[in-house]
Structure 1
Amino acid sequence: MALSKITGYLQGDKEKPVNKQQDKEVPAILSNDLSANIDEINKNFGTNKDIITRKFTFGKEQTRAAIIFAKGLVDTAIINSNILEPLLVNLPDHVNPPTIQIKNLLPISEISEENRIDVINTSILRGQTVLFLQDIDYAFVLKTSNAKGRNLEEPVSELQVRGPRIGFNENLIDNVTLLRKAGVNTELRFISLQLGKRFNKELVITYVEGIANPEIIENVKQKIESIDIDNIPESGYVEELIEENNFSLFPQVQSTERPDRVVAALTEGRIAIILDGTPFALIVPATINMFLQSPEDYYERWIAGSLVRFLRYVAAFIAVFTPALYISFVSFHQGLIPTKLALSIISSREGVPFPILIEALLMEVSIEILREAGLRLPKPIGQTIGIVGGLVIGDAAVQAGIVSPVTVIVVALTAISSFSLPQYNLSISLRVLRFIAMFFAATLGLYGVIVFFIFFSIHLVRLKSFGVPYLSPAVPYQTNDWKDFLIRLPISAMKKRPKIFKPTDTIRKG
């Protein structure tokens, strides 16, 4: 796969450039003058000491040649033993370069010919070595990249008790290889694109041919090709630039570090987007129930997996509405609270100088600050700050009479519920919605919470991800897809793929 992908790019048969204006320009090409070619390449890179030009002559006719590479991006051992040594030391006497035989002399796994200067520049910056020969108007692009990167490790943001212990890293080739290792599949396809005008990066769209809907594939491809930006440092940029509603609080693209989650999505008919330099892959289309599911749901028996999944839906409701309901009941609808509980709440709030909204906001903001502090500090210290800080601040606030114990319990239950969600980006969205719901409750009481819920539902019903309704399979109602929605039925019962993605092959094999 790597050979065909890289060779295809170097031969110029990749996807069209992102910039439509550049697509109309005629690219500069090499001449048959070695010195002019070297000067042109070096002029593009400027006076950079990491771009190395090595000139030499070889063969019985002393053919002039040169190699250009970027120091640090290449494996110099490969250059010395597989390029320079065969040409300068072990060249057979009967070879008369420059000829096409040069490709047969170098023990390099990937060799291609290229005459476009822009492609040659990109190849050098990707760790390839380019060999130029006198009287030849093209260059040989040689695979010599030194793929140093982080080792494959367990995903940090998506920990599981059971399941694969390996996650993506920042190396695109490693990530593509992980998908290949998921199983032998000749229908797995990779479309390679280039993003970023000044800092160019490679992006791969992957899907399973025969399952993914061609219309969705083309839609994803067009949106990515329309991205016009200088630099794409992380897949979050791509996520924001391709989603349909930038003003929605809900993520419309699913991000993950787990290859098994990506493979599962591909077999459902969805599409994955992998960007070089980030361990987070993107999955589209996305629906809200996918952010509440975990791959572990399928690794445990279906009854246990269904129970845990249903608890996540309950936790999501608690994370958004519990503080708002607490504020509305205590401030406006005390008659709806059981008498003993109402008396307990009243006694606990005795002496508290703030209204219930301010009291809840103080604790919620404190919890959010502690959460962020725990994330930014080193891991051992962060855990200590999160636990000890919450206990100390909560106890001190109660002792000082600033907040009531019941408020501390409500805020703590809300925080724990938001921690139980498997996707961090959905957790952030629900945290913002929680504050909005609290202001509605403080203004109109329970009626305000109902109004907020109506607006909330209307927005979700209208929201789409690449043409797929965000609330599916609930809206529109898909009977077959409910087998893997609020609960998960046995795998043997899920004989069809999700209908909402309109897969070309609707029946799961086996």
Structure 2
Amino acid sequence: MSIFSSTKKEQPSKEKKNSTEPIYLGKGFEDREKWLKNCFHQSSDVIFHTFIVNETQCAVVYLQGMVDQSLFDENVLKPILSTDFTIPKSDFFHKLLDLKQISAMSSKLITDMHVAAESVLEGEVLLVIEGENRMLAFPFTKFDKRSINEPTTENVIRGPKESFVEDISTNITLIRRRIKSSSLKMEQKEIGKITKTRVVIGYLEGICKPELVEEVRNRLSEIQMDGVIGSSYLEEYMDDYPYSPFPQMEKTERPDVVSASLLEGRVVVFVDGTPIPLLIPGNFYMFLQSAEDYYQRYISATWIRCIRYIFLLASLFLPSFYIAITTFHPEMIPTNLLISVAGARDNVPFPALVEALLMELAFEGLREAGIRTPKAVGQAISILGALVIGQAAVQAGIVSAPMVIVVSLTGISSFIIPHYDLAFSLRFLRFPIMILAGTFGLFGLTMGALVIYIHLVSLRSFGMPYLAPTAPLRLGDLKDVFIRAPWWMMNRRPTHLSPMNPKRANTKKISNGEDEGD
């Protein structure tokens, strides 16, 4: 952000919102300096620098490591020290404001000591002047931050390679670059009594439903806590059903995904210090869509999406189905395959349920070990661990070879799901369904599936049905659920979001240079 602006702001709005009683110490230089030093007692990174200009005492207070000192020296200290203030002492402050460099800056005039301390903590440079009750805060904030890199979990082949970073201003800029419209609103709030974390609500005015924006504002305003370190803190406070295993807000590290969601009528919540914003509201089918779906041709995207749904069912039900048919329904297995499975299980001392639980727990442990260990050895541990443990378990007769195949296919299936939160939910639910299948057979598996479906139907995310647009059924919105229709067919926004402007394109298809629109 540029440090220059044509306007000078009077008392900042933060001072009015500050819950602490304002403290005004008047023109006493020593009193204000003493108050600031007591406030930052035992804070070695807060720098106090005192100097005299025109027989007037001045003090500079700033946070070391968060200020561009060269810019401050060049644009503030140097002009002040090089100017001949042959004026009365009482007119020093007004003469200072008339300096060309300072008058052009977006500096703030502050009288409240609490606001002055907050300005220092935000990385601004505070200038205190003797004989003047107003103080100046200069926005010379500068600190090291991570550069914009490729996404680590949402990679695409043809799409953009940018991802969000921990700096909220950079993240907002990435959205502004894609949506160049004054309708894009970014409302800032401050949450956390101690951390005072910046939280920004983004939406498109005229598209997003105002009731949705108001509901997000209300839920955020009700959050009272000492600190917010990541967006997950806010997510758990705002969930409609906090005890549900299913995620109710989408998280993404891709600016293009956020931009597309805003254009559909959703709300985004940015949190300073985390590269993962929240998209509100969320539904089940959002977590099965990948950014890659919209950069490939619709035929390829539809085929990949169908594969994804098939493996979704495999990730949740494959081990349970194997347990049920081998334990209770062997007549469902072809004779040759049944003989093969029975021969493989001949020396296994455990029932199929115990066998599956052991293998699934071992696989989950290997997965976590691969994530937590250093990158240089994490992948090797995962591969070698799976191969060695699987082969050794089969040779020792602890598990059967078919069970190793089933668990391996189940693990691969969970990796196909694009969003980690949904994949984890399915991994968690896999265990109770296995227990039901091992106890009641296919009847237990069916009961588990019905309970999950009833739970999904009952869920809401900020008032929107979690299984929309299939429950309730909205035929027009199915163009982007199980299939990915061509862009010229998706000329209307999802109606389950109740957008203010439902139409997003006027044409259906262009062929031979002629418009065949509606």
Please indicate the TM-score interval, normalised by the length of the shorter structure.
over 0.9
1:64 aligns with 2:57: yes
Partner of residue 436 from structure 1, selected from 432, 436, 455 = 432
Are the aligned partners of 1:158 and 1:422 in contact in 2 as well (CA < 8 Å)? yes
Could you say if the C-alpha distance between residues 100 and 408 of structure 1 is closer, same or farther in structure 2, counting changes exceeding 3 Å? farther
Correspondence 1:108-147 to 2 at 5 A: 109-147=105-143
Aligned to 1:285: 281
Give per-residue Cα distances to partners, 1:208-231, cap 9 Å, x unaligned.
111111111111111111111111
Correspondence 1:337-376 to 2 at 5 A: 337-376=333-372
Partner of residue 78 from structure 1, selected from 68, 71, 84 = 71
1:210 aligns with 2:206: yes
Are the aligned partners of 1:252 and 1:287 in contact in 2 as well (CA < 8 Å)? yes
Could you say if the C-alpha distance between residues 109 and 296 of structure 1 is closer, same or farther in structure 2, counting changes exceeding 3 Å? farther
Matches of 1:271 and 1:3 in 2, distance apart?
30
SS of residue matched to 2:488: helix
Are the aligned partners of 1:14 and 1:192 in contact in 2 as well (CA < 8 Å)? no
Could you say if the C-alpha distance between residues 64 and 193 of structure 1 is closer, same or farther in structure 2, counting changes exceeding 3 Å? same
More displaced, 37-46 or 103-112? Answer: 103-112
Residue 468 of structure 1 aligns with an amino acid whose one-letter code is M
- The gaps in structure 2 that reach 5 residues or longer are 507-518
Matches of 1:146 and 1:306 in 2, distance apart?
46
Matches of 2:178 and 2:397 in 1, distance apart?
57
Deviation at 1:496?
0.8
Aligned to 1:273: 269
Deviation at 1:119?
2.4
More displaced, 140-149 or 91-100? Answer: 91-100
Q: Identical aligned pairs, as a percentage? A: 38
Could you say if the C-alpha distance between residues 380 and 70 of structure 1 is closer, same or farther in structure 2, counting changes exceeding 3 Å? same
1:41 aligns with 2:36: yes
Query: Scaled by the length of structure 2, what TM-score is found?
Result: 0.92
Give per-residue Cα distances to partners, 1:419-470, cap 9 Å, x unaligned.
0111111111110011111011111111111111111011101111111111
Deviation at 1:2?
8.1
Residue 431 of structure 2 aligns with an amino acid whose one-letter code is F
Correspondence 1:402-413 to 2 at 5 A: 402-413=398-409
Aligned to 2:146: 150
Matches of 2:478 and 2:470 in 1, distance apart?
8
Matches of 1:80 and 1:496 in 2, distance apart?
55
Partner of residue 235 from structure 1, selected from 228, 231, 238 = 231
Give per-residue Cα distances to partners, 1:345-381, cap 9 Å, x unaligned.
1111110011101101111111111110111112131
Aligned to 1:479: 475
Give per-residue Cα distances to partners, 1:57-113, cap 9 Å, x unaligned.
22xx43322111011111111121111111112457579421175264435743122
Matches of 1:153 and 1:447 in 2, distance apart?
49
1:490 aligns with 2:483: no
Matches of 1:146 and 1:264 in 2, distance apart?
31
SS of residue matched to 2:178: coil
SS of residue matched to 1:131: strand
Matches of 1:346 and 1:446 in 2, distance apart?
19
Matches of 1:76 and 1:30 in 2, distance apart?
28
More displaced, 468-477 or 224-233? Answer: 224-233
Aligned to 1:294: 290
Matches of 1:155 and 1:255 in 2, distance apart?
13
Could you say if the C-alpha distance between residues 370 and 9 of structure 1 is closer, same or farther in structure 2, counting changes exceeding 3 Å? farther
- The gaps in structure 1 that reach 5 residues or longer are none
Residue 340 of structure 1 aligns with an amino acid whose one-letter code is N
1:392 aligns with 2:366: no
Residue 34 of structure 1 aligns with an amino acid whose one-letter code is F
